[in-house]
Amino acid sequence: MLSIKHLFVKVKDTDNEILKDFSLDIKKGEVHVIMGPNGTGKSTLAKAIMGHYGYDVTNGEIIFEGEDLLKLEVYERARKGIFLCMQDPTVIQGVSNSEFLRTARNEITLEKVNLYTFIKDMEQAMKDVALDSNMLHRSLNLGFSGGEKKKNEILQMKFLKPKLIILDELDSGLDVDSLKIVCKNINDYLQENEDSSLLIITHYPRILEYIKPDFVHILLDGKIKKTGDINLAFDVEKDGFNGVNAMIGNDINE
């Protein structure tokens, strides 16, 4: 589904190169986890996949279902079925949650969504993610708590039905109960859409108690230094990234 080869990414209009010869392949239905310390390029990877204006890809390729993403605008990437659950969701004052979701769904499907069906689906989805129904009519993320913002991102995921879901530090700002709710909705979505894939970006293995990965990758110095199963995440929790780094040595993608 997604193939990233020898990717180099820097902050726009600077010489600050963050991703350095990064490569990763994700097949349909797989769950991948990227872990690494602050500043190593995890969020940069998510933004490069989506085409964020603040970063320049200087070399390499990102291919999604056989198509070169680097030639596409952000909205075109979204229409292809890529969804980013943002670390710090944007507040848009004056645009209600319902307006935003209906417009986004129209843009993704390129069809006008039936209003009755939309309202019915929305009411059920709001219950699923444990959001109060009055949030439908509030400005997007305005005055939302950290947990409510993340639940709202998962609400968007359920409506836009992406093929590739990128979770950028979903667990930040979530209490234990909220984390269980959003992870249940993600797991249910993946069960209902078996060809959809998931890329989790996180510091901590806590989220992996609820969403079981197929692969865990350690990102250091702008590239993947080691790949393993969920036990690799537990090694990070036990020994920290410095301990894992010492263990890796010169072993790349073991």
Residue 139: inside a domain: no
The CA distance from 105 to 9, in Å, is 30
pLDDT over threshold 90, residue 241: no
- Region 45-57 average pLDDT: 95
What is the DSSP annotation of 123-148?
A: HHHHHHTT--GGGGGSEETTT--HHH
Q: Which of 127, 159, 126, 132 is CA-nearest to residue 145?
A: 132
Residue 199: inside a domain: yes
Residue 152: inside a domain: no
Count of domains observed in the chain: 1
Residue with tokens 């959001």: 131
Q: Which of 11, 21, 13, 87 is CA-nearest to residue 48?
A: 11
pLDDT over threshold 50, residue 4: yes
pLDDT over threshold 50, residue 251: no
Residue 132: inside a domain: no
- Region 58-65 average pLDDT: 96
Say which CATH number the domain at 211 has: 3.40.50.300
pLDDT score recorded for residue 120: 86
**pLDDT range class, residue 249, cuts 50, 70, 90:** low
The CA distance from 16 to 249, in Å, is 25
State the CB neighbour count (10 A cutoff) for residue 136: 17
pLDDT over threshold 70, residue 140: yes
Residue 58: inside a domain: yes
- Region 34-50 average pLDDT: 91
pLDDT score recorded for residue 172: 80
The CA distance from 36 to 42, in Å, is 7
pLDDT over threshold 80, residue 253: no
Q: Which of 215, 164, 219 is CA-nearest to residue 33?
A: 215
pTM of the model: 0.91
Residue 112: inside a domain: no
Q: Which residue has the higher pLDDT, 254 or 208?
A: 208
pLDDT digits (tens, 9 = 90+) for 170-200: 888 788 899 999 999 999 999 999 999 999 9
Residue 47: inside a domain: yes
pLDDT score recorded for residue 59: 96
Q: 66 lies in which domain range?
A: 2-90+162-248
pLDDT over threshold 60, residue 55: yes
Residue 168: inside a domain: yes
pLDDT score recorded for residue 250: 44
What is the 8-class DSSP label of residue 222? T
